[in-house]
Amino acid sequence: MFQRITGLEECAKYRHTMRQISEMEAMTESPLPPVGAERPTLKTIAAATGLAIATVSRALKDAPDIGEETKRRVRETALRLGYRQNRAAVRLRTGKTNVIALLLSTESDVMNHTSKLLYSIADALRGTAYHLVVMPFFRDQDPMDPVRYIVESESADGIILNQTKPDDPRIRYMTEHNIPFATHGRTDMGLDHPYFDYDNESYGRLAVQALSDRNRRHVYMIAPPRNHMYARHMIMGASQEAAARGMRFELADEITSDSSADAIEVDIACRFASNPPDAIIAGSTTGAIAAVAGAERVGLRIGQDFDISAKEAIRLLHRFRKEMIVVQEDVARAGNFLAHAVMAAIEGRAADQGQALEVPQASDFRTGN
């Protein structure tokens, strides 16, 4: 789909493919019931499929004893009929909300990382009994506030959160209150809980190796906020590898990868105006783009005066500068894993895998040349 398109024939094929995709998307849209029509119920779906009401109910709950073909047929029929669960009735009957809350910082890399995580979690919950609610928290807000609100108001059955800290009070609180949860990131608390994480220590180490292979000797790192666990991992991996290779390692102290693009661009322009480092490691996609803009602002050329290594969840950076050394982080896998892990925790069953770590390899670091 994304290969170079040349010639009228290839353009025609491309447009035909895109038209087919649009038609397929239109076919999957949930129809609105006619005005005045009765709201579809489990009984309506049962009548349409020829299945028992109990079977329909269990299929919609993704019960393990119901076959996948039956589940698919029930879900397609429910979608066609415009069926929606009465969440108030479900809560009265079971005490459950069928809601999973995703807590996100407003400082996250929304353009790349966060959007992919949000989509993949929502996609994993499609066809299940659960709905996703996103709860943002702000820089000046106590990160405990949304967690306390959910627990005290009983407004969700489970929680997914990211940007974990070595000693994270949110995780301790949820553990003490027996709240089902899963985290995108690890802690250093000695508590066993479901998580999916990216091996940022390996990322930092391999990023330095890739820059060293291009004869770079002075690394400038734009790390995540240092109170986050993944920042500790990334800094450790990069600094230790730089020391082992006799390279100079410098950590940006006025900005982080969560800083605004304007702040990062200005910081890089000021730092690289004289005696500039010849290598950059960025902890976010936005940070990488802003860093290149800052270096170019003072006349430096990527691939000649400096190189930069970054990671991303959505393929974007090589469209910006093909010389960038980029590694893909599989955030879609992370979101899918976290959704299934928290559903398993809510339902009191063992997940297929409770913890997972994505480990990058040296061969994953590539330029767009």
Residue 28 clears pLDDT 50, i.e. is over it: no
Judge residue 191's burial from the number of C-beta atoms within 10 Å of its C-beta, 0-12 exposed, 13-18 middle, 19 or more buried. exposed
Residue 291 clears pLDDT 70, i.e. is over it: yes
Q: Which two tokens stand for residue 23?
A: 């038609």
- The position carrying tokens 């990023």 is 207
- The torsion angle over the Cα atoms of residues 237, 240, 244 and 247, rounded to 10 degrees, is 90
Report pLDDT for 95: 58
pTM here is 0.77
In residues, how long is the chain? 369
Buried residues in 64-101 as b, exposed as e (16+ CB within 10 A): eebeeebbebbbebbeebebebeeeeeeeeeebbbbbb
310-350 per-position pLDDT tens digit? 999 999 999 999 999 999 999 999 999 999 999 999 988 87
Residues 6 or more apart whose Cβ sits within 8 Å of residue 170: 103, 143, 144, 147, 161
Residue 83 clears pLDDT 50, i.e. is over it: yes
How confident is residue 364, by pLDDT bands cut at 50, 70 and 90? very high
Phi-psi region of 68 (alpha: psi -120 to 50; beta: other; left: phi over 0): alpha
216-256 per-position pLDDT tens digit? 999 999 999 999 999 999 999 999 999 999 999 999 999 99
Report pLDDT for 346: 93
275-290 per-position pLDDT tens digit? 999 999 999 999 999 9
Residue pair 343/156 in contact (Cβ under 8 Å)? The answer is no
Report pLDDT for 7: 60
Residue pair 247/208 in contact (Cβ under 8 Å)? The answer is yes
CA angle at 7 for the pair 5 and 8, rounded to the nearest 5°: 110
159-179 per-position pLDDT tens digit? 999 999 999 999 999 999 999
DSSP state at residue 272: T
Higher pLDDT, 81 or 158: 158
Name residue 306's beta-bridge partners. 302
Residues 6 or more apart whose Cβ sits within 8 Å of residue 263: 254, 255
Element (H, E) at 132: strand 131-137
